């Protein structure tokens, strides 16, 4: 039995567009000789649909669409498609997260997701009822165990503390499943692809059944899906894997022998994955929201340089515009480095000094500020003037403004509301400063770097990477005037934000000064009100600011 794992990039809510993607996938699967075409979780409506699930007409459109697909299914083919389905019972949540099995012009089976994640960015209990225990489905004479994403993530031998009582894979195997298919929408984070392979490999070996995994690809708001659909045999060996961060069709055999097992080069992951995730996340956010061009401020520093480089990789140089907005405190090298970056990338570049507006604002506020020494207020005015200029460019030309702040700055509040936080997408808001440097060096130096290949050499000026970080909002300012070295800061942020470690444990693990750790933790807590108003970012770490970290603003726990 040949199975096509159809790794598609659906757009949330674009039911007609997603029908076309699925229909094309079914035809490609048939041409490749497959009997069964498998599509990702919620492939008909896109994942995650969130509160679109509360709209009756949205659900009606999904129901109509799945019947349309069944009506047009080629003879001799079956397909597995994901969509939300109404729960007809009188009690419980109103919907199931389901798979429809299409055969002979109709839906022959419904399979409902049993394990509903409610952690990190997931909140499926908000909408869905857990599905009942189900038997394998018979397709072309084979007993097939159908599962949906999280249904695979609960084995006691893999997870020290499983969070669900049921184990759908074990139950399906006990009921005679010859192999397991998992339709998934598993978002990317650094290191997760390898964990998925090990998880499904361990499950396959434990239960002595092949497992076929079909994952969504593409960017949807803050989430990026890397695809990488794959197959493992009954010994847990990886047979083959689909492309990363792009649509693909992977043809597998339900009873393929282990002689073809695949050895992956794990060196590709991490920096290349981070690059591809950010590029795909930006490109899909732009396309799916209807934008074609971006504008961003270029300070000559590393953060804006990296954002510009990623924007060119995502959209092409002709669709990127950089703006330098020097003040009286800007150094000469800032403008030179910004201009050099724009030249290397081949993007449009403009210089609009903020000094006239800055002087005018100071004059306007002289009377009401009388008797008060200059402080952060005057620094923030400069940042907000730049925000006004960038938003004006966005409004006038219909470009999306990309904000350039990194995770380290966002964590401790070293960003200005209605200033450098203005924009439509916070591209690197989940990338710590130390990783910003690492990725920038990889873009410049790695033979695997698409930008180095396309531009014939490094694209980010060395000075932007090597210079001491500074916001340049007052004379001789550097970030380390008030922050610890970024390696130390990032170590604190990672432990406090991603692992929820208490201060005492952070101090013990890092050997950093306790007063420094407590100060940084306090800054992280105090900056929650800023992050609540930030543009959405692209999640690439285990825990990002945003929907996966829901902290109260008005709180006093320290």
pLDDT at 199: 93
Strands (E), 233-311: 238-241, 248-253, 294-297
pLDDT at 255: 77
pLDDT at 410: 95
pLDDT at 471: 60
pLDDT at 470: 64
CA distance 157 to 168: 15
Cα dist. 41→28, 49, 58, 152, 304 in Å? 19, 11, 17, 13, 36
pLDDT at 130: 95
* CB crowding 254-285: b at 16 or more within 10 Å, else e: bebeeeeeeeeeeeebbbbbbbbbbbbbbbbb
pLDDT at 254: 79
- Spell out the domain ranges in the chain: 2-269, 274-479+528-532, 484-526
Q: Given 62, 149, 214, 422, which residue is catalytic?
A: 149
Per the CATH hierarchy, to which homologous superfamily does domain 274-479+528-532 belong? HUPs (3.40.50.620)
Q: Using CA atoms of 49, 54, 55, 57 in order, give the dihedral in degrees to the nearest 10.
A: 80
Q: Kindly give, in sequence order, each residue whose CB lies less than 8 Å from that of residue 72, ignoring residues fewer than 6 positions away.
A: 23
**E strand or H helix that includes residue 392:** helix 376-397
pLDDT digits (tens, 9 = 90+) for 405-433: 999 999 999 999 999 999 999 999 999 99
Distance of alpha carbon 308 from its chain centroid, rounded?
19
Select from 90, 169, 86, 69 the least CA-distant residue to 128.
86
Query: Model pTM greater than 0.75?
Result: yes
pLDDT at 267: 47
SS3 state at 360: helix
Q: CA angle, 261 as apex, 255 and 265 as ends, to 5°?
A: 145
Q: CA angle, 231 as apex, 3 and 238 as ends, to 5°?
A: 150
SS3 state at 417: coil
Q: Given 6, 62, 103, 113, which residue is catalytic?
A: 113
Distance of alpha carbon 237 from its chain centroid, rounded?
28
Angle between helices 355-365 and 376-397 (to 10 degrees): 130
pLDDT at 262: 62
CA distance 287 to 282: 9
CA distance 250 to 231: 9
* Residue 149 appears among annotated catalytic residues: yes
Whether CATH 3.40.50.10420 fits 2-269: no
Residue 375, number of CB atoms within 10 A of its CB:
10
Which stretches in the chain have pLDDT values below 50? 267
Burial of 238: CB neighbours in 10 Å, binned 0-12, 13-18, 19+: buried
Phi, psi of 413 (to 5 degrees): 80, 20
**Do 269 and 193 touch, CB atoms closer than 8 A?**
yes
Domains 2-269 and 274-479+528-532 share a fold: no
CA distance 278 to 275: 5
- The DSSP code sequence of 207-235 is HT--EEEEE-EEEETTEEEEB--EEE-TT
**Do 227 and 247 touch, CB atoms closer than 8 A?**
yes
The 248-253 sheet, strands edge to edge: 106-112, 95-103, 78-86, 36-38, 2-7, 248-253
Q: Given 41, 178, 256, 409, which residue is catalytic?
A: 41
């Amino acid at each position: 039995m040949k199975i096509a794992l159809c790794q598609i990039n659906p757009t949330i809510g674009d039911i007609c567009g997603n029908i076309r993607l699925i229909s094309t996938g079914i035809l490609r699967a048939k041409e490749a000789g497959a009997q069964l075409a498998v599509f990702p979780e919620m492939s008909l409506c896109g994942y995650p649909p969130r509160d679109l699930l509360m709209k009756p007409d949205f659900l009606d459109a999904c129901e109509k669409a799945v019947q349309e697909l069944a009506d047009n299914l080629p003879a001799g083919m079956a397909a597995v498609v994901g969509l939300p389905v109404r729960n007809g019972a009188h009690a419980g949540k109103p919907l199931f997260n389901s798979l429809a099995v299409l055969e002979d012009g109709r839906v022959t089976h419904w399979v409902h997701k049993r394990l509903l994640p409610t952690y990190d960015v997931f909140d499926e209990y908000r909408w869905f009822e857990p599905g009942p225990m189900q038997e394998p489905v018979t397709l072309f004479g084979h007993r097939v165990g159908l599962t949906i994403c999280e249904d695979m993530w609960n084995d006691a031998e893999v997870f020290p503390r499983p969070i669900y009582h049921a184990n759908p894979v074990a139950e399906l195997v006990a009921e005679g499943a010859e192999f397991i298919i998992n339709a998934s929408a598993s978002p990317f984070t650094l290191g997760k692809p390898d964990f998925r392979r090990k998880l499904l490999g361990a499950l396959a070996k434990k239960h002595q059944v092949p497992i076929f995994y079909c994952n969504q690809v593409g960017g949807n708001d803050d989430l990026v899906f890397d695809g990488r659909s794959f197959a493992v045999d009954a010994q847990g060996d990886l047979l083959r894997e689909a492309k990363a961060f792009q649509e693909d069709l992977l043809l597998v055999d339900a009873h393929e022998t282990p002689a073809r097992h695949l050895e992956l080069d794990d060196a590709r992951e991490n920096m290349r994955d981070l690059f591809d995730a950010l590029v795909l996340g930006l490109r899909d956010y732009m396309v799916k929201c209807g934008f074609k061009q971006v504008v961003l401020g270029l300070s000559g520093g590393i953060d804006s340089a990296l954002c510009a480089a990623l924007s060119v990789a995502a959209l092409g140089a002709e669709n990127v515009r950089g703006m330098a907005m020097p003040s009286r405190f800007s150094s000469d090298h800032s403008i030179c480095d910004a201009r050099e970056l724009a030249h290397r990338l081949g993007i449009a570049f403009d210089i609009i000094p903020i000094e006239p507006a800055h002087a005018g604002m100071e004059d306007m506020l002289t009377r009401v500020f009388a008797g008060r020494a200059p402080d952060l207020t005057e620094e923030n005015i400069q940042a907000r003037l730049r925000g006004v200029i960038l938003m004006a460019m966005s409004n006038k030309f219909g470009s999306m403004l990309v904000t350039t702040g990194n995770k380290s700055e966002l964590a401790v509040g070293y960003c200005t509301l209605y200033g450098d936080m203005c924009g439509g997408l916070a591209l690197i808001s989940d990338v710590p400063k130390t990783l910003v440097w690492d990725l920038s060096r990889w873009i410049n130096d790695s033979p695997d770097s698409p930008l180095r290949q396309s531009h014939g050499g490094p694209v980010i000026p060395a000075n932007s990477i090597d210079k001491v970080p500074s916001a340049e909002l007052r004379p001789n300012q550097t970030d380390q005037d008030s922050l610890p070295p970024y390696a130390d800061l990032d170590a604190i942020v990672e432990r406090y934000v991603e692992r929820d470690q208490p201060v005492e444990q952070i101090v013990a693990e890092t050997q950093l000064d306790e007063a420094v750790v407590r100060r940084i933790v306090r800054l992280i807590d105090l900056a929650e009100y800023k992050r609540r108003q930030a543009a959405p970012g692209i999640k690439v770490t285990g825990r990002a600011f945003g929907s996966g970290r829901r902290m109260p603003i008005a709180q006093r726990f320290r």
